[in-house]
């Protein structure tokens, strides 16, 4: 059983635009299919307006699709929403949803009790999470005095209070300093090892590539690419580029693209599937006698995949 399964999801919004408030129908989801497994992190990527937020809100039982079906932890989001909520933790807006005059710890205890935890059990769980997310010293302070980054970490604590088996995060490290962001990434990796299913939306493609076992790219309400980062790079034929700056060299070298480098000198770009340790010594032997400025290796990235998959920017 998959932790998350969605089939044929559609959702249309009515919008009014222009000086005369003309009615316009916006198709946010157009037959979207996706899945995510236990013990894995799935990244949901796409340009603004692609349908990411609509998708996660449907999975979180906050929005009803026009058609299609979705199941979380084996339960239908439409007919069994209470069962879904018991098994899911969600962070959609890290800065909202708290009682500002209560302390961070009091907020967590309250939300824990909403999940049928005793006050004592909720308190112990809150203390562990505050320690884990670097908020131990701030747990006794009112939330209204928290910074944006502190609220983001507290929102993650809140999502984890009832030990859910499925987690949905929207930009989990947005607004965090580098140390806090690393702590959150390490936490997500730890939860994955415990068998939790994590679905996250992010515009940080480096983070998605570093964290996610599987990537789902959506555009105009449909999935346009899905697979591991390496699988997607292979699908789009993306290869490693070795860039060599040459002083006073030949105008052309067979098998290389030629251009101008960052220092204004001629640069040759060689495309290869070989590992750098294997390819560069062979290349240097081939270029023996030329005056070399620098050698750079550019690995294909998830950004390259994203651009290939999405193409032109969508405007939903």
Residue 316 pLDDT greater than 50, yes or no: no
Task: Give me the count of residues in the chain.
Answer: 316
**12 touches 25 (CB < 8 A):** yes
- 25 vs 137 pLDDT, higher one: 137
Query: Quick one: pLDDT at residue 115?
Result: 93
Our CA dihedral for 299, 183, 5, 34, rounded to 10 degrees, sits at -30
Residue in the structure block whose two tokens are 């879904």: 84
Residue 15 pLDDT greater than 80, yes or no: no
Those residues whose C-beta lies under 8 Å from the C-beta of residue 119, and which sit 6 or more positions away, are 109, 113
Residue 267 pLDDT greater than 80, yes or no: yes
**How many Cβ atoms sit within 10 Å of the Cβ of residue 52?**
20
pLDDT range class, residue 313, cuts 50, 70, 90: very low
pLDDT range class, residue 171, cuts 50, 70, 90: confident
Residue 134 pLDDT greater than 70, yes or no: yes
Average pLDDT, the chain: 91
- 207 vs 248 pLDDT, higher one: 207
Residue 25 pLDDT greater than 90, yes or no: no
Query: Quick one: pLDDT at residue 180?
Result: 83
**168 touches 88 (CB < 8 A):** yes
Mean pLDDT value across residues 111-125: 95
- Tell me which of 21-30, 85-94, 248-257, 282-291 is least confident: 21-30
pLDDT range class, residue 263, cuts 50, 70, 90: confident
Burial degree of 12 (CB within 10 A; 0-12, 13-18, 19+): middle
For the chain, what percent of residues have pLDDT higher than 90? 68
Mean pLDDT value across residues 158-183: 89
Tokens of 46: 């796409």
In whole angstroms, give the CA distance from residue 278 to residue 28.
47
Residue 170 pLDDT greater than 70, yes or no: yes
**7 touches 33 (CB < 8 A):** yes
Mean pLDDT value across residues 245-271: 89
**How many Cβ atoms sit within 10 Å of the Cβ of residue 298?**
12
Query: Quick one: pLDDT at residue 22?
Result: 72
| Domains within the chain, CATH numbers bracketed | 4-234 (3.40.50.300), 239-299 (no CATH)
Among left, alpha and beta (phi > 0; psi -120 to 50; other), residue 220 is: left
33-47, 180-194, 293-307, range with greatest mean pLDDT: 33-47
Separation in Å, CA 22 to CA 13, 16, 18, 315, 316: 14, 5, 6, 17, 16
Residue 18 pLDDT greater than 80, yes or no: no
Mean pLDDT value across residues 155-164: 94
Query: Quick one: pLDDT at residue 315?
Result: 38
Residue 126 pLDDT greater than 60, yes or no: yes
Q: What is the 3-state secondary structure (H, E, C) of the chain?
A: CCCEEEEEEEEEEEEEECCCCEEEEEEEEEEEEEEECCCEEEEEECCCCCCHHHHHHHHCCCCCCCEEEEEECCEECCCCHHHHHHHEEEECCCCCCCCCCCEHHHHHHHHHHHCCCCHHHHHHHHHHHHHHCCCCCCCCCEHHHCCHHHHHHHHHHHHHCCCCCEEEEECCCCCCCHHHHHHHHHHHHHHHHCCCEEEEECCCHHHHHHHCCEEEEEECCEEEEEECHHHHHHHCCCCEEEEEEEECCCCCCCCCEEEECCCCCEEEEEEECCCHHHHHHHHHHHCCCCEEEEEEEECCCHHHHHHHHHCCCCCC
- Tell me which of 77-81, 94-98, 275-279, 309-313 is least confident: 309-313
Residue 245, CA atoms < 13 Å, CB-side half-sphere: 10
In whole angstroms, give the CA distance from residue 178 to residue 1.
36
């Amino acid at each position: 059983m998959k932790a998350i399964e969605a089939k044929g999801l559609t959702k249309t919004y009515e919008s009014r635009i222009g000086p005369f408030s003309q009615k316009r129908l916006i198709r946010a989801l157009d037959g979207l299919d996706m899945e995510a497994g236990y013990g894995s992190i799935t990244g949901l990527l796409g340009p603004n307006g692609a349908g990411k937020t609509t998708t996660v809100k449907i999975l979180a039982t906050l929005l009803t699709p026009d058609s299609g079906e979705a199941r979380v932890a084996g339960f239908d989001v439409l007919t069994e929403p209470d069962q879904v909520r018991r098994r899911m933790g969600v962070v959609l807006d890290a800065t909202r949803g708290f009682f500002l005059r209560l302390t961070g710890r009091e907020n967590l205890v309250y939300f824990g009790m909403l999940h049928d935890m005793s006050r004592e059990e909720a308190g112990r769980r809150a203390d562990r999470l505050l320690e884990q997310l670097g908020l131990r010293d701030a747990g006794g302070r009112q939330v209204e005095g928290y910074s944006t980054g502190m609220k983001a970490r507290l929102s993650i604590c809140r999502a984890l209070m009832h030990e859910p088996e499925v987690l949905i995060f929207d930009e989990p490290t947005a607004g965090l300093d580098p140390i806090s962001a690393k702590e959150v990434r390490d936490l997500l990796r730890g939860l994955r090892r415990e068998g939790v299913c994590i679905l996250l939306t992010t515009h940080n493609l480096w983070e998605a590539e570093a964290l996610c076992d599987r990537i789902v790219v959506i555009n105009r309400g449909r999935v346009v690419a899905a697979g591991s980062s390496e699988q997607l790079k292979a699908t789009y034929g993306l290869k490693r580029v070795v860039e060599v700056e040459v002083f006073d060299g030949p105008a052309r070298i067979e098998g290389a693209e030629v251009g101008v480098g960052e220092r204004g000198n001629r640069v040759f770009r060689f495309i290869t599937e070989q590992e750098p340790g294997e390819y560069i010594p062979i290349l240097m032997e081939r270029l023996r006698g030329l005056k070399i400025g620098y050698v750079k290796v550019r690995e294909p990235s998830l950004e390259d995949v994203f651009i290939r998959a999405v193409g032109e920017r969508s405007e939903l």
